Structure 1
Amino acid sequence: MSLIALASAFTLNDARAVGLRKDQVYEMLDHGEIERIGRGVYLRPDTVDPSWATLAGATAVQPTATLCLTSALVHHELSDAIPFATDIALPRGTRAPAGFEHAAWHSFNPATFLTGRDALEVGDGLNLAIYSAERTIVDCFRLMHQEGNDVAYTALRRWLSRRGNSASALLRVAASFPKALPRLRLALEALL
């Protein structure tokens, strides 16, 4: 069976489904044809940009995996941070995949999990999920005690300075997060 029949990021079960045995997968791993990204999760390195590898592997195991917080801010060019790990959100109650060295797992409320969640096509037919810039800013204000004041305020300033962005669009997203809304309103009043 050919490696081409596999997705860019796949699990051992996916490999079995296309007719590969476990020993064949391990042989491909030994020959450098694939890389292990997590426990039972593999990547065809020639098909995925390394910056998306962790999220692609997480999505192979948990399709709800979504790029969030600092990692999403960097993607949206709202932060200059260099994250030590890829921030990935899962709905609360979902088990995080094991063995991912470069992932920081976050549990978000299932009732608001889809708010601001966008699809992102990163090549070779690979579709991943990321939170919109607005949702990410709201999350930074909501989780300010973890992410830090400076991260939230810097992202908000950069976002407001871009043409076409409006405070009303941000407040529409924030309406789903009542605890973040007062902080965000105060910040908008100070900056506008």
Structure 2
Amino acid sequence: MPQEQGTQRDTLRELFGAQPILRARELRKAGVAPQTIARALEDGEIERISRGLYQYADAETDADQALAEIAKKIPKGVIAMLSALAFHGLTDQMPRRIWVAIGNQDWSPTLTYPPIRTVRFSDKYLQQGIEHHQIAGVSVPIYSVPKTLADVFRNSRLVDRSVAIEGLRAAIEQRKARPGEIAQAAVEGGAWKKMQPYLEALTSNG
């Protein structure tokens, strides 16, 4: 029995070596018994981030780690709106909740941590402009800069217009996206009429 336990602990270490954040069911699927997980917790080798989600105790913490936790808990979700703006460095505002886009028919998750705010997008908007960024060993879907700008302009009831303009100005000044890319995303994202005067004012030489 001790040999089996040792083998499972080795498996657990290998899994966390490849990916610093794992769900309990991923560990169980790989053959690690709940007792092995419990002992690793007691020994301080792994830490429970939240219910059913663990990280290796020695793992370096990433400032965006909460986004990785969300990607694990809501596989169909995409980091969006203010959270995407903040990730791309386009706003000084740090949202208290992590904004996650889900489909109109998707189950709306309720998480105690990290705190989230879900926004429902139609399939047309949900699948546009998704990028995958490696955060804490996890591939996290996050909307691109042009797509995010289109979303915050289109959803003016959810995001203040001043925040959208600030993000647009920062994207142009920091050269995070070309004006043409931003304009195209706005057209495709149903936000061109709202964005056009601001984009033209920010990019005019006069």
TM over 0.5: yes
3-state DSSP class of the match of 1:57?
A: helix
Identity of aligned residues (%): 25
CA distance in 2, matches of 1:71, 1:164: 16
Within the alignment, does 1:114 sit opposite 2:123 as a pair?
Answer: no
* Cα gap change, 1:86 to 1:51, in 2 (>3 Å): farther
Aligned to 1:61: 73
Q: How many equivalent residue pairs?
A: 190
2:46 to 34, 39, 61: 34
Distance in 2 separating the partners of 1:129 and 1:66: 5
1:144 Cα offset (Å):
1.9
Cα gap change, 1:72/1:149 in structure 2, threshold over 3 Å: closer, same or farther?
A: same
- Relative to the length of structure 1, the TM-score reads 0.83
Give the one of 11, 14, 24 matched to 1:5: 14
Query: Which of residues 164, 171, 181 is equivalent to 2:192?
Result: 181
Partner of 1:104: 116
State the 1:163 CA deviation: 4.0
Report the residue type matching 1:189 in the other structure: E
Segments of structure 1 that go 5 or more residues without pairing to the other structure are none
**2:4 counterpart residue number:** none
Q: How does 1:131-146 map to 2 (within 5 A)?
A: 131-146=143-158
Give, in whole Å, the separation in 2 of the partners of 1:105 and 1:183.
24
Please, which moves more after superposition, 26-35 or 111-120? 26-35
| Aligned-partner Cα distance in 1 for 2:43–2:112 | 21
* Distance of 1:31 and 1:100 partners within structure 2: 26
Shift of 1:131: 1.0
Distance 1:59 1:100 in 2: 15
Distance in 1 (CA, whole Å) between partners of 2:28 and 2:20 is: 15
- Superposed CA deviations along residues 103-144 of structure 1, whole A, max 9, x for unmatched, are 3232322222221111112354x3212111111111111122
CA distance in 2, matches of 1:17, 1:142: 42
Give the gaps of 5 or more residues in structure 2: 1-7
Alignment partners' CA distance in 2, 1:37 and 1:98 = 16
